[in-house]
Each structure stands twice: as C-alpha cells, then as structure tokens.
C-alpha cells in the first residue's frame, strides 16, 4: 500500500508520523527546519488519511498493518536505520514499528503517547485513566462518530490546540470523505491490542519522549517506570503545551527533534 508523502531536504532520513484527526500537514513547521539542519524529512499520510489509500475493512486499520505501510516506505527510501517520529496514532505506530523492526530505527521520538504497555498498566490500576479514555468507546460506534466530528470537530480543534482559524479550516476540509477510515483506527482497537501484546519487546534504540504537560487524556503516571520497556529513554516536558505539542510549542519541539537526531548514537551494553 503506497503511502502519499511530502519531503524536504537531503541527508539522514527522518520520518514523521501524524495522528488523529490530522494528516502529513501536522509537521508543516518541523519539515523545513529539519531540512535546513541537514536532514531529509519525510511526512506521509497514514493509510485512511489525506492522499493515501483508504481500505474499507475495519481490520485493515490494526496497528501492525499500518506499521507495515511505514516499514515499506522506510525500506524504499533508505538503506540505513532512520529517526522515527510519531504523534498520537502516529506515535502508537512508531512504538510498535520500533518493536517489530528495530533494524530500521536508529532513534525514536514520541510525542504525547505513553508506551503501549504503560497505557495497559494504567488502565488496570487507574479509574481516572479509564474514564479519560471512554471517548474511544464512542468512536468505535457506527455512524455517530462521523456525525459528531462533522458537527463539533471544528470546535474540538479550536479548544485542543493552538491552531489558527486557517489551520482548523484546512483540517476540516481534509476530513471530507476521510472521516470513516480515520475513525476505523478506533474501531480496530480491540484487535490491535491483542496483536500488539504479542509484539512487545524491550526497545533498545535511544528514545526521546516530548510531553506537553497539559495533556488531557493520559495521566502523567503513564511515564513512570518506562525503563522496563525502553532501555535508553529521555523525557522532555513542555509545561505550556497540551496534546498537539508540535503545534502548541513548535519551536521547542523542532529544537528538541534536531538536537536529538543530530547527537551521535552511543551504543548501549547488551541486555541480559
């Protein structure tokens, strides 16, 4: 499944994966900066979004299938491991791709999504976390989520991040004809979780988590004790940013991305 993508620059490859309800334009402020810093920055539309293919079957949106698209893209663009960046659903894909194909990823950057195992842990021990994720059950219903997004999506974006009126209008426009495949990510959650549990392995490559501290969905406790799943993890917190951290604090996110991508990788001792 060939993904549509945009790219800027020439040099080591950085692949940036967007989330819901955006598209490759989520990285509009990071792409040119990465290019100026000497990287080849590539931002695809994930399947179901933008100009990429839109399968009708819900099962086509399980995370290993979506990650497979990105694996194919990376293999077509680079013969060496890349820096992989993900936000929201793109971060879920990035976490899992790093476990599925660690040979393709030399560094991992995650924006405002905890490790999948940490999310599962928080769901088991925290009723507030369960409550915050109830919206996912609503998004799994037929028809109603599409109607909801058409009616209230513009208002949600205005409240969720520091989007300009033009950016809100652009996103609402790209939802036309795309809302159902975009929402299929939620409808495939149960099957995705079962498949992802079988893929869990410790992530060895250096990992940066950029966290907007005004995150409305995930509890801060989901960032605790990550070393059992990620060998080399660093967390950078941005107090004034919420879930759409690359929009709320674009300059700081871009600086962190470039600094992390440019720092030479230090090999970790093998785990036992």
Per DSSP bridges, beta strands 13-17 and 40-44 are parallel
For residue 21, whether the previous peptide bond is cis, meaning omega lies within 30 degrees of 0, is yes
Closest CA relative to residue 179, chosen from 207, 153, 204, 203: 153
Inter-residue contact 92 to 65 (CB < 8 Å): no
Q: Where are the beta strands (DSSP E) in the chain?
A: 5-8, 13-17, 40-44, 82-87, 105-111, 207-212, 233-238
Show which residues are catalytic.
88, 186, 243
Beta-carbon contacts of residue 52 (< 8 Å; ≥ 6 apart): 1, 2, 3, 4, 44, 45, 46, 69
The end-to-end CA distance of the chain, in Å, is 38
Closest CA relative to residue 207, chosen from 233, 235, 231, 228: 233
């Amino acid at each position: 499944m060939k993904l549509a993508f945009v790219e800027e620059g020439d040099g080591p490859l950085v692949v940036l994966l967007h989330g819901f309800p955006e598209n490759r334009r989520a990285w509009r402020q990071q792409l040119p900066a990465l290019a100026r810093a000497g990287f080849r920055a590539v931002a695809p539309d994930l399947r179901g979004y933008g100009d990429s293919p839109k399968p009708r079957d819900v099962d086509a949106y399980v995370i290993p299938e979506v990650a497979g698209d990105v694996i194919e893209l990376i293999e077509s663009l680079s013969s060496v491991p890349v820096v992989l960046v993900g936000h929201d659903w793109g971060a879920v894909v990035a976490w899992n791709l790093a476990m599925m194909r660690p040979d393709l990823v030399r560094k991992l950057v995650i924006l405002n999504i905890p490790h999948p195992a940490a999310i599962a842990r928080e769901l088991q021990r925290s009723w507030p976390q369960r409550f915050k994720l109830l919206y996912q059950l609503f998004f799994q219903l037929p028809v109603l989520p599409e109607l909801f997004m058409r009616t209230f999506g513009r208002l949600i974006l205005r409240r969720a991040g520091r989007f300009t009126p033009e950016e809100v209008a652009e996103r609402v426009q790209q939802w036309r004809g795309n809302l159902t495949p975009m929402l299929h990510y939620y409808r495939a959650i149960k099957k995705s979780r079962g498949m992802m549990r079988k893929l869990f392995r410790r992530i060895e490559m250096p990992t940066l988590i950029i966290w907007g501290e005004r995150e409305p969905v995930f509890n801060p406790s989901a960032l605790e004790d990550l070393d059992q799943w990620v060998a080399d993890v660093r967390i950078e917190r941005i107090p004034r940013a919420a879930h759409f951290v690359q929009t709320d604090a674009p300059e700081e996110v871009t600086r962190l991305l470039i600094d992390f991508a440019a720092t030479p990788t230090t090999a970790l001792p093998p785990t036992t």
